[in-house]
Amino acid sequence: MSAPKTARIKSWEEFKKTAIEQNAKTVVYVIAQSIPNNNYTGLKLILPVKGGQYIFVDSANGDRMRRTNIPIRTDRYGNRQLTDEDIIQFLKTSLGIPNIQIFSYWTA
């Protein structure tokens, strides 16, 4: 199955299934944070595959992400944020793909 250049995936379960089917080696994530941080928190997951990429977008719902259920931390000033550690742990645990590499967009 060849992947289109860019395809949007609408559910976490579909992203997970695609990652497993494509034998993913890498997932890249981007945290979208508004200023001030307590207004918007978003997460984009990018699954690069031969010939293209799959993209999954998640947004906040209260103190968790809407689709992945990753917790949103609040610091002592009331600023909300996702942590790299929470995202990486979630992806490694949920995908269960041995040796998968997970990178922040800024460090990829």
pLDDT at residue 80 greater than cutoff 90: no
Residue 37: what pLDDT? 53
Q: What are the tens digits of pLDDT across the range 81-90?
A: 899 999 999 9
d(CA 56, CA 70): 14
The CATH number of the structural domain formed by 6-97 is 3.30.720
pLDDT band at 74 (very low <50, low <70, confident <90, very high): confident
